[in-house]
């Protein structure tokens, strides 16, 4: 349903070592970012492509129960701060949001391109 050409959502890579969330990291100050950047937003230093850990901690969460184009309610979402990485918005299973401080793991992307995550330690 999208008419947007460049998808702004973070991307993942699935390889023999599992899933990694792709993004950029400043080679000077280490700032991690999942959005495409030419320079570091903090220090204007050069950035290098980076693969971040799929695991992290839930920062906040909710479940959307209204119609949103391209999404079927109800759907639970969470901000997850990836270990040594950026904070990303993920979709989680079911309609019970994962409480803040829960450990979570990104497992891939949905058919429509959203990041998916489950409680860490659970199978996807």
DSSP secondary structure letters along 8-29: -S--EEEETTEEEEEEEEETTT
The C-alpha atoms of residue 9 and residue 29 are separated, in whole angstroms, by 24
Min separation Cβ 53 and another protein, Å: 12
Measured from the CB atom, is 4 or 121 closer to another protein?
Answer: 4
For position 43 contacting Zn ion by CB under 5 A, the verdict is yes
Q: Considering CB distances under 5 to 8 angstroms, the limit depending on partner class, which of Zn ion, another protein, none binds residue 70?
A: another protein
Contacts to another protein by CB under 8 A: 2-4, 6-10, 32-35, 41-42, 59-71, 75, 77, 79, 81-82, 85-87, 89, 91, 97, 99-101, 113-115
Q: Angle at Cα 12 formed by Cα 10 and Cα 83, nearest 5°?
A: 80
Distance of CA 84 to the CA centre of its chain: 13
């Amino acid at each position: 349903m999208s008419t947007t050409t460049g998808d702004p959502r973070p991307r993942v890579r699935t390889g023999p070592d599992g899933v990694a969330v792709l993004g950029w990291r400043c080679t000077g100050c280490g700032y991690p970012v999942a959005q495409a950047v030419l320079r570091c937003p903090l220090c204007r230093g050069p950035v290098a492509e980076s693969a971040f850990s799929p695991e992290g901690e839930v920062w906040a969460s909710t479940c959307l129960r209204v119609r949103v184009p391209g999404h079927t309610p109800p759907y639970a979402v969470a901000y997850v701060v990836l270990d040594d990485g950026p904070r990303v918005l993920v979709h989680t299973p079911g309609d019970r949001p994962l409480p803040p401080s829960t450990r979570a793991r990104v497992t891939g992307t949905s058919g429509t391109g959203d990041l998916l995550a489950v409680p860490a330690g659970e199978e996807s």
